[in-house]
């Protein structure tokens, strides 16, 4: 580069830009937006999220199959194909759908209750100092407690059956969601808060109309975590108690088959949980994100 710079130029130490003639131009008419250069096929295909995710799923299934065959211990790790067979058998026999519906029924109630409580608690926490202390104290105290520790209390207060399950579900959903919601609320930029309060908003309306949308990315992450932990807890809780055997859910289905060493059925039950997880993530949460935080530019 130096030789080129050297040519006909002032010394680089005190470079002087050349003086060029001025010009004016008539305004160019507006052109149509350039057609995007067509991408090569494989890159175009790559843009479909479902395709990429499908490939990942296939890869995972293959990995499972290979791992299982290599281990050759199908009482501990059945192969993917065995599991799939068991899955379709129990789907067509109606047993998995029935158990799933039983579980979902309880799960959704517990989830909804947890979400509502988390909202109440965080609203309190953003409005008052004592609410803030209460949230932080309760969360740090109760969140680490395993649901089975609450079992005797649940039994005492809510009796057998779904109510106790809902109680432990709330315990699983409430704290992580409240933590995330509160973190989201405290991260709302000051200017946006001031704008909201300038509209005359206060109390619940302020939280609902300003803080919640502004904190939505965190809240969605909290909802996802809550959803997952609700499943974990429900399945574990159905194993331990509450399932009067007539109306068991998926957890019960898994437990029973595990007891009888039908490991392929155990994994079939887990597949159902996995499928529901994928569905909720890719349909529900993904759509929610697309329509909100991504559209608003608050999350990439």
Stretch that binds a second copy, among 34-42, 83-91, 198-206, 266-274 (CB under 8 A): 266-274
Given 14, 20, 32, 300, the residue binding a second copy (CB under 8 A): 300
Written as six digits, the tokens of 205 are 């309306």
The item of other proteins, a second copy, none sharing an interface with residue 84, based on CB under 5 to 8 Å by kind, is: none
H/E run at residue 52: helix 49-71
Tell me the closest approach of the beta carbon of residue 93 to a second copy, in angstroms.
22
| Backbone torsions φ then ψ of 20, nearest 5 degrees | -110, 160
- Report which of 278, 257, 249 is spatially closest to residue 166, judged by C-alpha positions: 249
Only one residue has tokens 């055997």, namely 245
Q: Which is nearer to a second copy, 5 or 278 (CB)?
A: 278
Scan residues 57-116 and list those touching a second copy (CB under 8 A). 57, 60, 71, 73, 76-77
**Token pair recorded at residue 179:** 């933590």
Sign of CA dihedral 182, 188, 190, 193: negative
Contact call for residue 216 and other proteins (CB under 8 A): yes
Q: What is the rounded distance in angstroms from the CA atom of residue 41 to the CA atom of residue 8?
A: 50
| Closest CB to other proteins among residues 110, 249 | 249
Among 209, 278, 279, 284, which residue sits at the site for other proteins (rule: CB under 8 A)? 209
Q: Does 273 bind a second copy (CB under 8 A)?
A: yes
Q: How far apart are CA 233 and CA 249, in angstroms?
A: 12
Residues 6 or more apart in contact with residue 278 via CB below 8 angstroms: 57
Q: Which of 34, 38, 94, 144 binds other proteins (CB under 8 A)?
A: 34
Tokens in use for 170? 């709330």
* CA–CA distance, 221 with 176 (Å, rounded to integer): 10
Q: Could you say whether residue 195 binds other proteins (CB under 8 A)?
A: yes
Residue among 119 and 229 whose Cβ is closer to a second copy: 229
C-beta closer to a second copy: residue 18 or 87: 87
180: closest CA among 228, 128, 242?
228
* Comparison of 41 and 75: residue with beta carbon closer to other proteins: 75
Choose from a second copy, other proteins, none: what does 168 bind? Cβ within 5-8 Å by kind: none
Pick the binder of a second copy from 80, 167, 227, 252 (CB under 8 A). 227
């Amino acid at each position: 580069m130096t030789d080129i710079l050297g040519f006909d130029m002032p010394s680089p130490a005190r470079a002087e830009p050349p003086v060029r003639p001025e010009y004016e131009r008539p305004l160019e008419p507006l052109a149509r937006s350039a057609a995007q250069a067509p991408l090569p096929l494989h890159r175009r295909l790559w843009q479909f999220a479902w395709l990429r995710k499908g490939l990942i799923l296939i890869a995972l299934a293959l990995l499972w199959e290979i791992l299982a065959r290599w281990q050759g211990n199908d009482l501990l790790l059945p192969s993917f194909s065995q599991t799939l067979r068991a899955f379709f058998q129990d789907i067509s026999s109606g047993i998995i759908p029935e158990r799933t519906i039983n579980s979902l029924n309880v799960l959704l109630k517990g989830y909804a209750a947890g979400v509502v409580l988390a909202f109440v608690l965080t609203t309190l926490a953003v409005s008052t100092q004592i609410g803030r202390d209460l949230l932080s104290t309760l969360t740090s105290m109760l969140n680490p407690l395993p649901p089975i520790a609450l079992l005797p209390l649940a039994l005492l207060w809510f009796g057998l059956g779904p109510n106790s399950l809902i109680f432990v579900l709330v315990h699983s959903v409430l704290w992580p969601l409240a933590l995330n919601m509160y973190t989201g609320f405290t991260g709302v930029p000051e200017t946006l808060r001031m704008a909201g309060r300038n509209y005359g908003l206060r109390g619940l309306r302020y939280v609902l109309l300003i803080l919640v949308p502004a904190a939505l990315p965190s809240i969605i992450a909290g909802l996802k975590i809550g959803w997952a932990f609700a499943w974990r807890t429900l399945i574990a809780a159905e194993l331990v108690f509450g399932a009067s055997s007539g109306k068991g859910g998926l957890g019960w289905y898994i437990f029973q088959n595990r007891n009888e060493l039908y490991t392929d059925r155990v994994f079939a039950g887990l597949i159902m949980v996995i499928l529901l997880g994928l569905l909720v993530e890719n349909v529900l949460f993904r759509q929610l994100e697309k329509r909100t935080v991504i559209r608003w530019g608050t999350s990439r």
